[in-house]
Amino acid sequence: MSRNRHTVGSFIEQLKKYEETKTLESLLEQEEFASLLNGIYTSFSAESKSTAQKLFQKTNQTRKKKSKSPALLTVIGIHDIALPPSIQSLYQLWKANPSQFWRPSDSLQAKQSIEIVAVEAYSMIQKLRLRQVYDVILWRFYVSFFYHLALMLGHGQKVLTSNLYNLLYERLIKALTQSKKITDDIGVIKANLQHWIAAGSRYNRICLALDKGALFLIPQISDDM
């Protein structure tokens, strides 16, 4: 084929043999159409081929940049980067006196060898990890307690409705807000109770299916599921 044979008009004319509803992607699977495009490309001059290659390279680079954009936008779009409310007061203490943050490691001395410090750090990580596993299991039983407490106060009501939550709030909110051990305001307390009861409900369903021992054995799962 000569170069001047491939004009816009001739290309449109050759496209008329294909159904208008066909997508270009589906046509690429047809040998005849692929051959048509290949013929057009091979008829290009060396300069035009170079231009086409640069165009495709630029398109690929743009796609790669766009593929990263959602992740970057997600990070940039996070405005609520903050300490969990539960440790706000502790953070102020640590900020004023950093040694308080490392208080569990008071046994470490500045003049001790690297080996001794490493042994202490290793031991501390083991304890923290064990405590983490223990706390997860303990958490399951405590949220289950609040779930069953809600059912008891709901006089046999089994469905987690707003009415059931209100019954729990009416019974407990005064005691919780007046306790010196709890510094959360009413809004936070209600949100916590609702979250914990919902989590307890999920663990209760697991126990009904497997037995109460499941709270010890199941792997860690998100409490927001």
Show Cβ contacts of residue 209 under 8 Å, excluding neighbours closer than 6 positions.
none
Tens digit of each residue's pLDDT (9 = 90 or more) over 171-219:
888 888 888 888 888 888 888 888 888 888 888 888 888 887 888 887 7
Banded model confidence at residue 2, pLDDT cuts 50, 70, 90 = very low
Is residue 66 packed enough to be buried (19+ CB in 10 Å), middle (13-18) or exposed (0-12)? exposed
Nearest-CA neighbor of 215 among 148, 153, 142?
Answer: 142
193 close to 147: Cβ distance less than 8 angstroms = no
Q: Could you give the CA distance from residue 37 to residue 43 in angstroms, rounded to a whole number?
A: 10
- State whether residue 105 is helix, strand or coil: helix
In this structure, what DSSP letter does residue 106 have?
T
pTM: 0.51
Instruction: Count other Cβ atoms within 10 Å, centred on residue 200.
Output: 24
CA distances from 142 to 9, 84, 156 (A): 76, 20, 20
List the structure tokens of 71. 């992740």
List the domain boundaries for the chain.
3-76, 125-217
CA atoms of 187 and 64, how far apart (whole Å): 44
Per residue in 68-125, pLDDT (tens digit) is 455 555 545 555 556 666 677 778 887 888 777 776 555 555 567 777 878 887 888 8
Please name the residue ranges forming H helices in the chain.
8-15, 24-27, 31-42, 46-76, 88-96, 114-153, 162-178, 186-210, 214-217
- Residue 8's CB is within 10 A of a number of other CB atoms, namely 7
